[in-house]
Amino acid sequence: MSLRHIFPCHAVLLLLMLFSTVAAGEELLDFDTQVMPVLTSSGCNSGACHGAAAGRGEFRLSLYGSRPAEDFEQITLALEGRRVNRRQPDASLIIRKPSEQLFHGGGLRLDIDSPGYMRLTHWIAQGAQRLRRRTLTEFKVDVSNHSPVIGEAVQLSPKARFSDGELEECLHWTVFTASDEDALLIEGRTITPRRPGRHIVLARFLDQVVPIEILVPLPNAPAPALKTDDKSLDSFVNRRLTLLHLSPAP
């Protein structure tokens, strides 16, 4: 065999070795803390979908990802493993159905250009493993303003800390639910009040829920002059009445 035939073969082998090394050095996604939030934020494991007690369409997930070990088996082993396609990740049922590339009774849950679609596809391409590398230790939401006026946007910044010490911004994977959906407009990281009053928004990430209190004052009403300078129960109530521009009942 001539050298001109040997060198191209060696070049191909070197390239294959290089790509294998890069792939081997890549950090694998953690199923419990990085894949499960995709399913929760997409609504896949809610009570109205596959998180129902009996599941939906022969596919059952734990409610809000409360039992990741069972969910991992349902996704990777049930249905003879046909929900994941490690050779062609974007052909996996767990990808094609929520993105409505195949009929899905739950409608569109994952846009093909969304972070959730890309993360789920990447996890399957990595081998669809459950590493149990870390756990969630803290979930918090920073709020730009707890007392906005009607129409004033409030910015939310959810963050999660894990047992490996990592602190991550988790906006894409946090579910925000208003106690009164007509009173607050929630769009991405923004809350915009539509009417005055005390409103509660629940922020959910994995198994932790954080309540967010929003106090919206009455428009065109002065704040009452009330005693708020001590730690008594009356002062606690008065501080809220002041923020709401409400006078106490006589």
Q: Which domain CATH number covers 186?
A: 2.60.40.1080
Q: Are residues 115 and 59 in the same domain?
A: yes
Domain endpoint, select from 74, 103, 125: 125
Measured CA to CA, the distance from residue 64 to residue 78 in angstroms comes to 19
Whether 174 and 205 have beta carbons less than 8 Å apart is answered as yes
Q: Are residues 64 and 149 in the same domain?
A: no
Task: Return the SS3 of 204.
Answer: strand
Give the number of other Cβ atoms within 10 Å of residue 133's Cβ. Answer: 16
At 161, list the tokens: 């800390």
Ramachandran assignment for 198, one of left (phi > 0), alpha (psi -120 to 50 degrees), beta (any other) = beta
The reply to whether 130 falls in a domain is no
Amino acid identity of residue 65, one-letter, is G
Q: Among 209, 167, 243, which Cα is nearest to 201's? A: 209
For residue 184, count CB atoms less than 10 angstroms from its CB and return exposed for 0-12, middle for 13-18, buried for 19 or more: buried
pLDDT tens, N- to C-terminus, the chain (250 residues): 443 444 344 433 433 443 343 355 688 999 999 999 999 999 898 888 998 888 888 899 999 999 999 999 999 999 989 999 999 999 999 999 899 888 888 888 889 999 999 999 999 999 999 999 999 999 999 999 999 999 999 999 999 999 999 999 999 999 999 999 999 999 999 999 999 999 999 999 999 999 999 999 999 888 788 777 777 887 888 888 888 888 887 7
Whether 206 and 140 have beta carbons less than 8 Å apart is answered as no
What are the C-alpha distances in Å from 32 to residues 36, 38, 46, 97, 133? Answer: 6, 10, 17, 21, 8
H or E, element range at 12: helix 3-25
CA angle 26, 27, 28 (to 5 degrees): 110
pLDDT reported for residue 23: 53
Number of domains in the chain: 3
Q: Are residues 208 and 227 in the same domain?
A: no
The reply to whether 35 falls in a domain is yes
Report CA Rg, the chain.
Answer: 25
CA angle 117, 122, 128 (to 5 degrees): 110
Q: Are residues 39 and 106 in the same domain?
A: yes
Cβ contacts of 69 within 8 Å, gap of 6 or more:
130
Q: Are residues 173 and 201 in the same domain?
A: yes
Q: Tell me: the pLDDT tens digits for 64-79? A: 999 999 999 999 999 9
| Residue-range definition of the domain harbouring residue 142 | 136-216
Q: Count how many Cα atoms sit within 13 Å of the Cα of residue 109 in the half-sphere of its side chain.
A: 23
The reply to whether 121 falls in a domain is yes
The reply to whether 174 falls in a domain is yes
pLDDT reported for residue 2: 43
pLDDT reported for residue 17: 41
Q: Are residues 31 and 118 in the same domain?
A: yes
DSSP-assigned letter for residue 66: S
H or E, element range at 162: strand 154-162
Task: Return the SS3 of 235.
Answer: helix
Measured CA to CA, the distance from residue 38 to residue 105 in angstroms comes to 19
